[in-house]
């Protein structure tokens, strides 16, 4: 019997090994985000964001990240159902390890996405961030929330029909409060204003959803 | 139909009729809504319908989350039917609360919609329970459907505090009256409480009928 951490690590490394074989999620997510980013950048114009447009920039960045995540994250569980590997996985791993492994995989995927897209976004739209540390923390906190919420919803959607559209329909109402909070936190970081409660509340959201997901996932996963 | 059900229906009918009468003829107009023009507007009587609908829909979603929790614990299909019935009727109440609010907003503030924090919350609640119903439509097996939708309903109640308490407070300003901000006469408060009780009882009755339909449908296969 493997230890809990060992089992989680095994799931995480299995996910990345499968991903690096096909690079399906990575290329979908990255290309989706970059295409949207180019569309946004062209419509904003070559001079970048004007001071009046600047408050909108965090909104655009988070919308790009959210929709890119929607395009790629549901695959973790949908893929298992499609290739009929879900049942062996039910036998092989404990639900909590499986959930944490899959969430960590989604989180690392999102962090790669953020690491590529955010600098490009800031450069192309010529946005200057006053407080880089707070901005990075907002990205991390938002990434954790997106990863946890999407992993649970993906596990649910994999057992239903019409998976792609259904994922967006189910995930958005759950993720919208988080989105609002991290957009506020990013805006505060870009403008370099005094502290707002948004970041702390986003951390609260992350922890509440994580606890709820850990309790609910075994019910979703085991018939 | 048993005697008890019949009595309940008659009591409910009399209660609601009396409340509606009291809303128009017993309760005075709320001075809290009197503008600079002077007289309090007749539109302030919306409080006897809009507020009870909103409170009862919140109650409905709370009940639905509780029954979903019970379903996950006991796995009886009757609890699943109770949760769906509560959400379906709760959705109806929620839509009515949104529409009455928007109409009143037009009269009082001059626009049907202005993304007041409360309006955003109620739209998100509608989106959320709309998503719940589309999830139910997307799963064929009744056991899987009940399980997944129960999980979704419980998850919603983890996120709900953010929608209803945290985000509205974070907004810089809101025109929406809160209990306490608009001063109310004792008569007004009395009728509002009576209307909340009446609308909640009406909800329980409609939801129980809907639950029976769902039970019979499941029995018929």
Would you give per-residue pLDDT tens digits along chain A (223 residues)?
678 899 999 999 999 998 899 888 889 899 999 999 999 888 888 777 787 777 788 899 999 999 999 888 888 888 888 888 888 888 888 999 999 999 999 999 999 999 999 999 998 888 888 888 889 999 999 999 999 999 999 999 998 877 778 999 999 999 988 998 999 899 888 887 767 788 889 999 999 999 999 999 999 988 7
Domain ranges of chain B: 46-169+176-220
| pTM, 2 dp | 0.87
Closest-CA residue to A68 (of A35, A19, A101, A90): A35
Structure tokens at A216: 């609910």
Q: Does B139 contact A at CB distance below 8 Å?
A: yes
E strand or H helix at B214: helix B186-220
B98 pLDDT above the threshold of 90: yes
Does A170 sit within 8 Å of B131, measured CB to CB? yes
Look at chain B and count its residues.
221
Looking at the partner chain, which of A156, A172, A176 has a beta carbon nearest the beta carbon of B148? A156
Contact B73, B150 (CB under 8 A): no
Across B153-176, average pLDDT = 77
pLDDT for B173 equals 63
What 3-state class would DSSP assign to B182?
Answer: strand
| Banded model confidence at residue B71, pLDDT cuts 50, 70, 90 | very high
Tell me, what's the pLDDT at A216?
A: 93
Does the pLDDT at position B182 exceed 80? no
Give which of A164, A9, A208, A8 is closest to A73, Cα–Cα. A164
Indicate the residue of B139, B148, B158 with minimum beta-carbon distance to A209: B158
- b/e B152-184 (16+ beta carbons within 10 angstroms → b): bbbbbbbbbebbbebbbebeeeeebbeeeeeeb
Question: A-chain residues within 8 Å CB-CB of B155?
Answer: 152, 174, 209, 212-213, 216
The mean pLDDT value for B53-80 works out to 93
State the total domains in chain A. 1
Conformational region of residue A84, where left means phi above 0, alpha means psi within -120 to 50, and beta covers everything else: left
* Domain interval for residue A69: 4-221
Contact B151 A208 (CB under 8 A): no
Residue-wise pLDDT for B37-59, tens only, equals 555 577 778 888 999 999 999 99
Q: Is the pLDDT of residue B179 over 80?
A: no
- Give the ipTM: 0.87
Chain B residue with Cα closest to A180: B167
Note the pLDDT of residue A218.
92
Alpha helices in chain A (DSSP H): 4-22, 24-44, 57-72, 75-82, 86-92, 95-124, 132-157, 163-191, 198-221
B54 forms bridges with which residues in the sheet? none
Distances in whole angstroms, Cα of residue A209 to Cα of each of A217, B9, B58, B83: 11, 41, 21, 22
């Amino acid at each position: 019997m493997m230890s809990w951490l060992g089992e989680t690590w095994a799931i995480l490394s299995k996910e990345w090994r499968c991903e690096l074989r096909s690079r399906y999620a990575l290329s979908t997510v990255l290309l989706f985000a970059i295409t949207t980013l180019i569309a946004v950048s062209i419509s904003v114009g070559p001079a970048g964001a004007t001071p009046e447009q600047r408050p909108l920039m965090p909104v655009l960045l988070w919308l790009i990240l959210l929709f890119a995540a929607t395009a790629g994250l549901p695959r973790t569980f949908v893929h298992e159902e499609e290739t009929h590997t879900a049942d062996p996985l039910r036998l092989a791993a404990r639900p909590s390890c499986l959930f944490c492994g899959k969430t960590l995989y989604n989180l690392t995927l999102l962090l790669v996405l953020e690491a590529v897209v955010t600098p490009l976004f800031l450069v192309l739209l010529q946005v200057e961030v006053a407080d880089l540390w707070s901005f990075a923390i907002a990205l991390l906190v938002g990434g954790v929330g997106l990863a946890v919420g999407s992993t649970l919803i993906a596990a649910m959607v994999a057992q239903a029909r019409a998976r792609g559209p259904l994922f967006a329909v189910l995930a958005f109402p759950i993720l919208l409060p988080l989105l609002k909070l991290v957009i506020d936190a990013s805006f505060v970081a870009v403008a370099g204003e005094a502290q707002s409660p948004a970041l702390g509340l986003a951390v609260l959201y992350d922890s509440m959803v994580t606890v709820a997901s850990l309790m609910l996932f075994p019910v979703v996963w085991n018939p | 139909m048993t005697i008890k059900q019949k009595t309940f229906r008659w009591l409910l009918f009399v209660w609601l009729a009396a409340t509606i009468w009291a809303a128009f003829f017993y309760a005075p107009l709320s001075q809290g809504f009197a503008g600079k023009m002077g007289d309090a507007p007749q539109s302030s009587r919306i409080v006897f319908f809009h507020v009870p609908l909103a409170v009862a829909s919140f109650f409905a979603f709370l009940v639905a989350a509780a029954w979903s929790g019970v379903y996950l614990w006991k796995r009886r299909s009757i609890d699943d039917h109770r949760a769906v019935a509560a959400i379906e009727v709760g959705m109806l109440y929620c839509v009515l609360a949104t529409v009455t609010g928007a109409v009143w907003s037009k009269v009082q503030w001059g626009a049907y919609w202005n993304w007041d924090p409360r309006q955003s919350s109620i739209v998100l609640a509608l989106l959320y329970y709309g998503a719940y119903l589309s999830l139910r439509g997307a799963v064929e097996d009744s056991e899987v459907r009940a399980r997944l939708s129960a999980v979704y309903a419980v998850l919603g109640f983890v996120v709900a505090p953010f929608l209803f308490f945290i985000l509205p407070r974070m907004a810089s300003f809101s025109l929406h009256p809160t209990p306490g901000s608009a001063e109310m006469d004792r008569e007004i408060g009395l009728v509002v409480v009576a209307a909340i009780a009446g609308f909640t009882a009406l909800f329980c009755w409609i939801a129980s009928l809907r639950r029976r339909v769902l039970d019979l449908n499941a029995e018929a296969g």
